[in-house]
A and B are shown apart, each in its own frame.
Chain A
C-alpha cells in the first residue's frame, strides 16, 4: 500500500478544494429564492401582548456576550415563556447555518441575531418577518437614526436595533506623547502623524489594516460614498464614486507608504500589538472599549478616545459593526418571537445589555447622564462616552449594504486584499471587487450594474 500516503495527500488537496467550492455553493444558496415556507399568520400590536400572556417556547440564536443574562432576566419576568438560547457560531458560521436551515425549510430559530451588514441578505428574499405588522414602526424615536435605517430593507422593518458602533479614533496617548504627535483632526493630519511615527520608529504603525471589508465599507461610508444601492431586484454597484475616491486618496498614502501595519484584526498578534504600542491608533466602532478592557489588559491607562478625523474638519462618522434581532418566517410562534425581540431591545433587555459593556442604539440611554459622564479607568479616567455618544449624532446618512454583503466580504481578500499585499493603489483592487460583485449579482438573479 505504498500509494496510501500519496493518496491521502491527494485527498487532502481535493478536500480543501471541495471545502472552498462548497462554501461558495452555500453562499450561492443565499439571496436567490423565496423560502418562507409556513403560512404567515396575521400579526397585530395586541398579538404581542397576548402571546406573552399565553406563553410558549422559542429558540434564540445569538453569540453576543449579553445574551445569557438577558434570557435569564426575560424568563424571570415571564416564567411561562421558555427561551432556548443557542450559540450556533460567531459571524459566518452562524449565517451559514441560518442560511442552510432557511434553504432546508426547517431548523431555523424563532429569533436570530443578525448584523446590520447581513440584514438585507436575509430580509430581501423574504426569510424574515416584517415587524410593522406588530406595530413596531411606532418605536422609531427610541433609536438613533442610523441604526433605525439599518434595520430596514426596502420598506420593511426586519428587527429592532440592539447595539451600535459609531466610529471614533482610539489612540495610544503614551505613544503619541513620546513621539510628539498631536491628535489628528483631519485625515491629512492623520497621514502626517503616520509618517512621523513610522520614521521615528519603523516598528510602530499609526494603525493596522491588512484589508478588511467591514472597515473599508465603513470608511467609504464616512467619506460620503454610497457605492451600493438596491431597489427591488435592481442592484447598482459603484466603487468609483466621489466618496470612495476621497477615501482612497487618503488611504493610498498610508498603504503604499507602508505606514499601516500588516496585522490582521482579531488575531493574537493584533491583541498583542494593541497592548505594546505597535499599533498607535484605531479608527473603529464605539463598542471597542469593552473589548479592550477585557482583552488588552497591557493597554490599561494608555489609551484615549477622540472624534474621527474627517476630510474637512467638520464632524462626520460612520457605523462599524452592530447587530439587530430578527424574527424568522419559519417561526411557529412569530408573535411570541416578536414580543421577545421587543423586550430584548426596547424594554427590560437593554439594562443587562449595557451591564455587559455594550454600546447602545437607544437614544434614551445615549442621553442618560450617568452613562454619558461615566469616567473610564481603562482610558485614564476620560469620560469616553461623551465622545462616543457625540459620534452617534454625526453618522453620515444614506448608506446601505448589498443584498449579498456576506459573499462580498468573503471575496474582499482576493480582490482589494491583493492591493494591500502589494502596497499598490487600492482602486485596482476595488475595481476587481466591483467586477466580481456585478458578475455574482447577475448570477443570483439581480439586475446588477456597475
Chain B
C-alpha cells in the first residue's frame, strides 16, 4: 500500500517534455505490444458477455436464424425475462432464492470462520500450529470437487442428502480463505496493538471484534468475494447432492433447462436458458462493482514489505 501513497504524492503533471528520463520507474514507457495484447484480451473477455446480452433479446426462433453478434428480427428481452421468471410455475425465482440462501449462509459463514480461525492462528502461539499449517496447505491443494463424491456418501449415511444442509455445510469450509486470512492477519495487526488493548483490560473476544476485525476488513472482503463467487458458481456438489428441483441453485437448474433440448421429447428453451444466465450473472457483477475497492487493496496487501 505504500506504493499507492507514493504515487499519489507525486505532482499530478510531472514535467512535460523534458527532465525526467523516459524510463523512469515511476512513469513506465508505454509498450504498443502490451497495449495491443491487453486490447485483444479485453475483446476476448467482453465478446462472450456481448453475445449473452444480444442473445437474451432474441426469441427461440431468432436465436436459430440470426447472426450471433447482432440483434434478431424482434426485440424480446422483456418477454424473455418474463417467461424466464414464470416458466414452470416460476421455478427460476425459487432457484434464485436457493442460491442466495446458499451464498448468504454458506459464503458468509465460511468468511466468518476463516477470519476467526486465521486471526487465531496468526496471533496466538500454541502447540500444533505447524501441524495445522501443513494440513491447511494440503487442503488448499485438494479441490472441493474431488471431495464431492466421498462427501455425498458420508452425507447420505447421515441422511442429509436432498436437504439445504448438504450444500451449506461443505460451503462453510474454505481452506484457501483461512490461509489468506492467516497471512493477512499476521501482517495487518501489529502485536503491540493487541498488547496495548490487553493492558487496557479488553478481553480476547472484545479485542477480536473491536480492534482486529476493523484492521482485517480488506482481507475479509477479499475472502468474502472468493467465497461468494465459489458458492454462487457451485455446480458439481449440488448436482450430485440434490435430486429435488425445488432445492436446486441456479447453476444446476439452468443446466436442467439446457438439457431439456436433448433426446426423445426434446423441448429446447435456449432463449430462457440464455436469459436466465444473464439474470444469474447480474448480482455477481453488482457485488464486484461495489466491493472491488476493498478487493484491490486486499489483493495487493503483503506485496510490499513495510
Contacts and interface: CB of A to CB of B under 8 A. Distances in A.
B143 A295 contact: no
Interface string B233-262: 000100110011100000000011001111
A202 interface: no
A90 to B, nearest CB: 4
A4 B301 CA distance: 12
B277 interface: no
A340 B161 CA distance: 26
Interface size class of B (residues with CB under 8 A): 35 or more
B303 interface: yes
B256 A87 contact: yes
Nearest to B245: A87
Contacts of A323: 264
B264 A287 contact: yes
Contacts of B240: 26, 96-97, 100
A15 B143 contact: yes
A321 interface: yes
Contact of B65 (A22, A93, A107, A298): A298
A291 interface: yes
B156 A107 contact: yes
Interface size class of A (residues with CB under 8 A): 35 or more
B174 to A, nearest CB: 12
B143 A103 contact: no
A285 interface: yes
A450 to B, nearest CB: 28
B251 to A, nearest CB: 12
B185 interface: no
Contact of B266 (A11, A88, A163, A295): A295
Interface string B109-144: 000000000000000000000000000000011011
A35 to B, nearest CB: 12
A90 B264 contact: no
A272 interface: yes
B149 A266 contact: no
A285 B266 CA distance: 13
A326 B65 CA distance: 40
A200 interface: no
B156 A106 contact: yes
A11 B139 CA distance: 12
Contacts of B266: 266, 291, 294-295
Q: Is the interface of B mostly helix, strand, loop or mixed?
A: helix
Query: Which of B183, B244, B265 has the most chain A CB atoms closer than 10 A to its own CB?
Result: B265
A298 B262 CA distance: 19
Contacts of B243: 61, 86, 88-89, 97, 101, 107
Contacts of A63: 260, 265
A297 B264 CA distance: 17
A1 interface: yes
A11 B143 contact: yes
A22 B259 contact: no
Interface string B253-296: 00110011111111110100000000000000000000000000
B48 interface: no
Contacts of B169: none
A90 B63 CA distance: 23
Interface in A250-279: 266-268, 271-272, 275-276
A249 B210 CA distance: 79
Contacts, number: 135
A199 interface: no
Given A104-B156, A275-B64, A90 B256 contact: yes
A271 B146 contact: no
Nearest to B300: A1
B49 interface: no
Contact of B264 (A14, A106, A285): A285
B108 to A, nearest CB: 20
Interface string A1-17: 11010010001001100
Given A18-B145, A22-B148, A64 B236 contact: no
B302 A1 contact: yes
A321 B263 contact: yes
A377 interface: no
A295 B239 contact: no
A103 to B, nearest CB: 7
Given A88-B243, A321-B263, A21 B256 contact: no
Nearest to A84: B244
A93 B162 contact: no
Contacts of B261: 266-268, 271, 295
A91 B64 contact: no
Given A266-B268, A322-B264, A357-B265, 9 more contacts: A1-B301, A15-B145, A90-B262, A93-B259, A104-B152, A104-B157, A266-B263, A287-B265, A321-B263
28 contacts: A1-B303, A11-B143, A15-B144, A18-B146, A19-B145, A21-B146, A22-B145, A25-B149, A66-B265, A87-B245, A88-B245, A90-B256, A90-B260, A90-B263, A91-B262, A91-B263, A96-B240, A100-B152, A101-B243, A103-B153, A104-B153, A105-B156, A163-B265, A268-B270, A291-B265, A294-B266, A294-B267, A297-B61
Interface of A: 1-2, 4, 7, 11, 14-15, 18-19, 21-22, 25-26, 61, 63-66, 86-91, 93, 96-97, 100-101, 103-107, 163, 165, 266-268, 271-272, 275-276, 285, 287, 290-291, 294-295, 297-298, 321-323, 356-358
A-B interface, 4 closest residue pairs, ranked by CB to CB distance from nearest:
A104-B156, A18-B146, A90-B259, A272-B64
